[in-house]
């Protein structure tokens, strides 16, 4: 319930803002929601969308290796950014 109350306090124009940082989405088959790709791309700077073959709403607990692998793959291109 706290999440619903907190989200209701956010001004509507804030909800409409697009996330501009590079964003990745791991879509697990057993998750509660499967947002359309068009919606993801409209609301975020999508650089990666992966549809995985197993896992659900609690994917990090259900499939920790698969989840960790996906995180590594997403961040790999950014590892050398900012390093000297």
Q: With 90 as the cut, is the pLDDT of residue 1 above it?
A: no
Q: Is residue 60 part of a domain?
A: yes
Q: Is residue 12 part of a domain?
A: no
Q: Is residue 8 part of a domain?
A: no
Q: Considering its fold, how many domains does the chain have in total?
A: 1
Whole-prediction pTM: 0.76
Name the residue among 72, 75, 79, 59 with its Cα closest to residue 23: 75
44 three-state secondary structure: strand
Q: Is residue 59 part of a domain?
A: yes
Token look-up 């549809």 returns: 51
What residue numbers bound the domain in which 62 lies?
19-78
Handedness of CA 62, 57, 14, 75 (dihedral sign): positive
Q: With 90 as the cut, is the pLDDT of residue 13 above it?
A: no
Q: Would you place residue 5 in the very low, low, confident or very high pLDDT band (cuts 50, 70, 90)?
A: confident
Q: Is residue 70 part of a domain?
A: yes
Q: Is residue 9 part of a domain?
A: no
Task: List, for residues 16-75, the tens digit of each pLDDT value.
Answer: 889 999 999 999 999 988 899 999 999 999 999 999 999 998 999 999 999 999 999 999
């Amino acid at each position: 319930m706290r999440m619903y109350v907190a989200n209701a306090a956010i001004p509507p124009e804030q909800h409409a803002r697009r996330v501009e940082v590079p964003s990745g989405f791991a879509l697990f088959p057993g998750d509660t929601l499967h947002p359309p790709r068009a919606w993801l791309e409209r609301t975020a700077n999508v650089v990666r969308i992966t549809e995985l073959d197993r896992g659900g709403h609690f994917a990090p607990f259900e499939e920790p290796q698969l989840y960790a692998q996906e995180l590594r793959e997403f961040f790999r291109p950014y590892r050398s950014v900012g390093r000297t």
